[in-house]
Amino acid sequence: MSPILSVRGLAKHFGGVAAVQGVDLDLPAGLITALVGPNGAGKTTLFNLITGAVEADTGRVMLAGTELARRTPARMARLGVARSFQDLRLFQSMSVQANVLTAIEPHAWFWQPGGRRAHARRLQATEMALAETGLSALADALAAELAYAERKFLSLARILATGAQIWLLDEPASGLDPASRARFSALLRKHAGQGVAICLVEHNLDIVSALADRIVFLDQGRKLAEGEPQAILRDPALAAIYFGERRA
Amino acid sequence: MLVLQLLASGLQTGALYALTAAGFALIFGATRLFHFAHGATYALAGYAFVLADHAGLPWPIGCLIALAVAVAFGLFTDIAIYRPIQRHSASFFTVFVAAFGVVIFIQSALEITFGRSFIAVSSALTHASQILPGLYLAQVFWVAIAVTVLVFGALGWFLSRSNSGIALRALAENTELLRAYGLSARRFSALAFALGSALVVPGAVLGAATTGLSPVVASHVMLVSLAASVVGGIGSLRGAAFGGFLLGIAENLVVAVLDTQWSEAAGFVVLFAFILLRPSGLFGTAVAR
Amino acid sequence: MSAYLLNLAELGTIFALLSLSLNVLIGYGGIFSVAHAVFFGVGAYAGAQIALHLAPDVLLAALGGGLAAGVLSFALALPALRVRGEYFVVASLGLQMVATTVFTEAQGITGGYGGLVGIPPPSLFGLDISSPRLFLSVCIAILLAVMAGVHALMRGSFGRSLMAVRDSESAAEAFGKIVPILKTLAVVLGCIIAGAAGGLFALQMSFVNVESFTLDQSVLIMAMVIIGGVGTLLGPLLGTALLLLLPAALSFLPGIPPTELGAVQQGIYGLAMTLLMIFRPGGIAGRAEGRR
Ligand SMILES: Nc1ncnc2c1ncn2[C@@H]1O[C@H](COP(=O)(O)OP(=O)(O)OP(=O)(O)O)[C@@H](O)[C@H]1O
Ligand SMILES: [Mg+2]
């Protein structure tokens, strides 16, 4: 299957730190790709480079074959690339419903185009995203008042509602209890089944092996390996790097 | 010769701005706080010196009193205002409003106690004599330059040789470090507030001896420290010092072409130019959001 | 109602407009400007000039004032909003200082220190409304209309977008928000309302000079918003009422010489802002816990 998003040779230095060094990545539609690697491997930075939140030193990003130069987060969002943040970055002082609704109101004007009918459609998309993430009952609660797992699901609901076809999820499952984790996995599976290309950063290798179709292993900004979960997870050299026993 | 004369007074003003702004930058570096109340520290130190002088105390005692007031007030703002706020909110704006409130409060308190008008100490140091045809310099010029050089020398020595100084500098250069050390950074924040506040004393004392003081110096100095830090590059000590000189000189040189009312405005035109064209300042690197 | 109370009520509606407008910036946009009195001033001078040279029509003065302030704020906001919020505060402080000098020096337009005097009594579509009661009613009508408009905008997608940007700029961008445009719109909207308030102020006072547009005034407006409660509809109104009644309340206290009244007020604003930030950052009308 040809990849819907592909990345070639992305690189970024922060002063003396080479955070990402010439990484290639392909995200095919309908597959879940797990990005794993020790702390500081450059996983979050790679997302930042793809979305243009951080300007890359070199490298290219292609969406369905078209190269995207001069990326900005807003433009990437409009092109259907949605991302979550490791620290969630919910809109704390807004209600759960408003958090999701505003995520699908991107027009920078005093009102959105399309009138009442478009607004009703957005309300419906919001409702569906909240239902799917189990947050319907909390629609009027403030984001700041949610429990930990609910906050994680809200960050997912914002993405769901956008209908984006590419999801970049930064540690969306970390710290979830087993029941929530199962719900989360089912959600991701379902949307991958509907053709969404998902890339998720995850430290828990159990989740990775259960959920991911492919693994990309990153260390010190370099891609060390890529392939089937079982092959990668069985590689003793990678395990040693991952668990910090030896540096490559 | 007018330009030379203005340049000289610009250097003198700039030297004192440089010290004050360096104090602001030092505090910002170690704590990431925009210490708007720095201007209030300056005003309090200056008024303390004037009071001591009017009470007939010799000037070294006056300087010590000013130093004590400055350091005590700096520490007070850290402990009584910034820390309680940071316990519940890390937002820049909460801190800003609180610090701004302090400046306004101190300014009004000074106004109520001492009146709106200028007060000054008279000093033999301010009698000017002709150095070159048309260039008059008072001894206070040399004092200002000498004090600035000495204090910056001492500060540089402290920051590069002593353990605490090196730690302070490391904190200023590396935000990650600040985050990683979390609580133990508190101790350094007190040190930075004490040291940074002490740096206003030369400016406050010499300001009292030359132009005099009025309550609005609190907001004026707040602006100057901020402007110098922005021009120099936020968090850079060297930049703040340089920015202070630049603002002092700009304020004075503009008098060569415009009325004196414009001198304060000139400093801010420089500030705007930097904010628009080079927001990272002269020595700063772009600060990550 | 006595003339004193009517006068206070007129000023109250004008300042309510001002704090309402600053609340769009601070409360919803998270944009801190310490130069709001500058836009109030530009609107007042524009309104005064219109009244002096065209007609002392209330709506004309308000529209003209709003237009002048809006255009100026647009020119300034576009570049200034590219930088971080901290810098914007610093830039606005600088603007306030420069503007005070400009207001004093640009005698042809502002009348310098003496100000613009002899502004004719207000009218509306040619009808004389110089009676305080009528003028007050018109001001209140304008205030209510603006409040309704701002309320509708802030409850709609624009308000949500602004608040999203305030809460997390990077997340808002990641959902397609174009942050500079949203912030510019907020600033221009707020400054148009401030300018309109200035136009009304010129007609209410029949005299304007630079003293009403200094840093002290910016601080007063900011204090109204912050003490009342940022980001709420009624907070700024509450703050306005409290701070406008403060001078009257103070004059009942013995032992404060009238010449010190201004300084005492400023001192109270300062202290109140600091204490609120420590103990109740949401303001009087806001929620009790601190917001991140
Ligand atoms: N804005 C920045 N400025 C300076 N250095 C940065 C910046 N962002 C990331 N880095 C550095 O780049 C390297 C990679 O960081 P990154 O956050 O991408 O790692 P990560 O793989 O996401 O780690 P973790 O698992 O801890 O989230 C680290 O050394 C980090 O300190
Ligand atoms: Mg990360």
Cβ C273–B98 below 8 Å, yes or no?
yes
Domains annotated for chain B, with CATH where assigned, are 2-277 (1.10.3470)
Counted across chains B and C, CB pairs separated by less than 8 A come out at 131
**Measured distance CA(B247)–CA(B227) in Å, rounded:** 8
- The tokens describing B156, both together, are 């540089």
Cβ B101–C274 below 8 Å, yes or no?
yes
Give the SS3 label for residue A69: coil
User: Which chains sit next to B, with 3 or more Cβ pairs under 8 A?
Assistant: C
**E-assigned strand segments in chain A:** 3-14, 17-28, 32-36, 58-63, 66-67, 81-83, 166-170, 197-201, 214-219, 222-227
What's the CA-to-centroid distance between A17 and ligand 1, angstroms?
9
Kindly state if the Cβ of A42 falls inside 6 Å of ligand 1.
yes
Give the SS3 label for residue B249: helix
What is the C-alpha radius of gyration for chain B, rounded to an integer number of angstroms? 18
Whole-prediction pTM: 0.88
Contact present, B239 and B25 (Cβ < 8 Å): yes
- List pLDDT tens digits, range C91-150: 888 888 889 889 988 888 888 888 888 888 887 887 777 788 888 999 999 999 999 999
In chain B, the residue whose alpha carbon lies closest to the alpha carbon of C278 is B85
CA distances (Å), origin C103, targets A82, B262, C48 = 49, 12, 14
Q: Chain C partners of A110 at a C-beta cutoff of 8 Å? A: 153, 156, 158, 185
**Measured distance CA(B51)–CA(B53) in Å, rounded:** 5
**Measured distance CA(C251)–CA(B237) in Å, rounded:** 47
Q: How many residues does chain A have?
A: 248
Let me know the angle formed at the C-alpha of B262 by B257 and B264, rounded to the nearest 5 degrees.
125
Other Cβ atoms closer than 10 A to A123: 14
DSSP codes joined into one string, A1-13: --EEEEEEEEEEE
Which residue's entry shows tokens 């930097």? B274
- List pLDDT tens digits, range B128-178: 666 667 676 777 778 888 888 898 888 888 888 887 778 777 777 666 666
pLDDT for position A41 = 92
Burial class of residue B164 (count of CB atoms within 10 Å of its CB; 0-12, 13-18, 19+): middle
What is the mean pLDDT, run by run of 10 residues, along chain A of 248 residues?
A: 86 90 94 93 95 94 92 94 95 95 92 90 96 96 94 96 96 92 94 96 89 93 90 80 61
Contact present, C95 and C164 (Cβ < 8 Å): no
Q: What share of chain A is helix, strand, coil (3-state, %, to 5)?
A: 40, 25, 35
Let me know the angle formed at the C-alpha of C167 by A85 and B81, rounded to the nearest 5 degrees.
115
Task: Choose among C182, C211, C206: nearest CA to C40.
Answer: C211
DSSP class of C26:
I
pLDDT in tens, chain B (289 residues): 677 778 888 888 888 889 999 999 888 888 888 888 999 999 999 999 999 988 888 888 989 999 999 999 999 999 999 988 888 776 777 888 899 899 999 999 998 888 888 887 777 666 666 666 767 677 777 888 888 889 888 888 888 888 777 877 777 766 666 656 655 666 778 888 999 999 999 988 888 888 888 888 888 888 888 888 888 877 778 888 888 888 888 888 887 777 777 777 787 788 777 777 776 767 765 443 3
Amino acid at the residue C288: A
